[in-house]
């Protein structure tokens, strides 16, 4: 009887003091097998919450894609394997890149690299700087991002910057237009090769595994097939390396 009075008194004191009382199962006799528990300390609470502070962030902790794939083109089926494995479309990759770096997406490329299958996005940020964002092709998480410190003229970026000033169709819109007619988009780039004006150059794969290159006008959004010469250049890329 005295034991119950002591326990009740201790619990009441804890409540009055503003502490936390923890329910305790007490057997009739205390001994080596009895279980006792007290209030949780702040250190214990911190330990329980450890590792949850970054939950829901868009950046991967290990920098690797959820789709593990090696860069291997021995049988000429690399692009098909990548397009089939990707769960994130080009427009969705562009949207994810802009969440990480607000601005304008100037290029997208689906590629199997050391981190696995990823989307590489080039973004001209609102801060006026060039950013490269690597996204998981399985869930659009940001795996890596950094600023390109090269001068505009080093990679033709000055030209791209000027062309984008008047563009009404961005890379994501160009990808959606091409995808509707020619299947899965694997690459988008602003290009002016052999042309008077720049166009969005979009590479796609149809369900039959055939590769296509199409052009989307940055001003009108009009879709046209790339000239045969451009298609031939793509076919001979491997021979040029």
Give yes or no: residues 40 and 108 share one domain.
Answer: no
* Ranges 12-21, 56-65, 122-131, 149-158: which has the least confidence: 12-21
Give yes or no: residues 169 and 96 share one domain.
Answer: yes
Q: Mean pLDDT, to the nearest integer, of 34-40?
A: 39
Give yes or no: residues 116 and 225 share one domain.
Answer: yes
Give yes or no: residues 124 and 10 share one domain.
Answer: no
pLDDT tens digits along 38-91:
444 333 433 333 332 332 334 544 678 999 887 665 566 788 889 999 999 999
Give yes or no: residues 8 and 90 share one domain.
Answer: no
pLDDT tops 70 at residue 108: yes
The dihedral through the CA atoms of 215, 145, 83, 232 has a sign that is positive
Closest CA to 111 of 82, 138, 87, 85: 82
- Give residue 51's pLDDT: 32
pLDDT tops 90 at residue 228: no
Whether residue 56 is contained in a domain is answered as no
pLDDT tops 60 at residue 113: yes
Give yes or no: residues 41 and 83 share one domain.
Answer: no
pLDDT tier, 234 (very low <50, low <70, confident <90, very high otherwise): low
**Rounded Cα distance, 235 and 241, in Å:** 12
Q: Mean pLDDT, to the nearest integer, of 102-124?
A: 92
15 versus 207: which is more confidently predicted? 207
Q: Mean pLDDT, to the nearest integer, of 169-186?
A: 94
110 versus 8: which is more confidently predicted? 110
Q: Are 90 and 122 in contact (CB under 8 A)?
A: no
Whether residue 60 is contained in a domain is answered as no
| Percent of the chain topping pLDDT 90 | 45
Closest CA to 96 of 171, 19, 37, 174: 171
**Rounded Cα distance, 214 and 204, in Å:** 8
Give yes or no: residues 28 and 121 share one domain.
Answer: no
- Give residue 14's pLDDT: 42
The dihedral through the CA atoms of 107, 91, 178, 127 has a sign that is negative
Q: How many domains does the chain have?
A: 2
Residue linked to tokens 């090269």: 150
Whether residue 103 is contained in a domain is answered as yes
pLDDT tens digits along 210-221:
999 999 999 899
pLDDT tier, 156 (very low <50, low <70, confident <90, very high otherwise): low
Give yes or no: residues 170 and 118 share one domain.
Answer: yes
Q: Are 213 and 187 in contact (CB under 8 A)?
A: no
pLDDT tops 90 at residue 117: yes
pLDDT tops 50 at residue 100: yes
Residue 219: CATH number of its domain: 3.10.450.40
Q: What is the mean pLDDT of the chain?
A: 74
Cα dist from 88 to 97, 138, 156, 215, 240, whole Å: 12, 6, 28, 22, 31
Q: Which domain range does residue 35 map to?
A: 2-49
Give yes or no: residues 111 and 200 share one domain.
Answer: yes
- Give residue 67's pLDDT: 93
Q: Write down the H helix ranges in the chain.
A: 2-16, 42-49, 78-85, 90-100, 157-164, 171-182, 228-235, 237-240
* pTM metric for this prediction: 0.67
Give yes or no: residues 116 and 191 share one domain.
Answer: yes
29 versus 192: which is more confidently predicted? 192
């Amino acid at each position: 009887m005295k034991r119950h009075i002591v326990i009740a008194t201790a619990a009441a004191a804890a409540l009055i003091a503003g502490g936390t009382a923890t329910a305790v199962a007490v057997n009739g006799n205390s001994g080596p097998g009895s279980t006792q528990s007290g209030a949780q300390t702040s250190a214990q609470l911190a330990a329980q919450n450890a590792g949850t502070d970054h939950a829901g962030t868009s950046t991967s902790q290990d920098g690797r894609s959820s789709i593990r794939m090696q860069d291997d083109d021995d049988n000429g089926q690399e692009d098909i394997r990548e397009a089939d494995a990707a769960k994130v479309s080009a427009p969705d990759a562009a949207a994810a890149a802009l969440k990480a770096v607000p601005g304008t997406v100037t290029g997208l490329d689906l590629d199997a690299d050391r981190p696995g299958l990823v989307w590489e996005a080039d973004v001209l940020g609102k801060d006026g700087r060039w950013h490269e964002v690597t996204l998981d092709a399985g869930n659009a998480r940001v795996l890596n991002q950094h600023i390109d410190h090269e001068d505009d003229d080093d990679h033709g970026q000055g030209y791209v910057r000027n062309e984008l000033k008047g563009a009404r169709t961005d890379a994501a819109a160009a990808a959606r237009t091409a995808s509707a007619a020619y299947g899965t988009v694997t690459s988008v780039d602003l290009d002016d090769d052999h042309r008077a004006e720049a166009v969005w150059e979009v590479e796609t794969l149809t369900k039959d595994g055939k590769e296509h290159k199409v052009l989307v006008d940055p001003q009108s959004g009009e879709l046209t097939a790339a000239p045969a010469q451009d298609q031939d250049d793509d076919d001979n890329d491997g021979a040029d390396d």
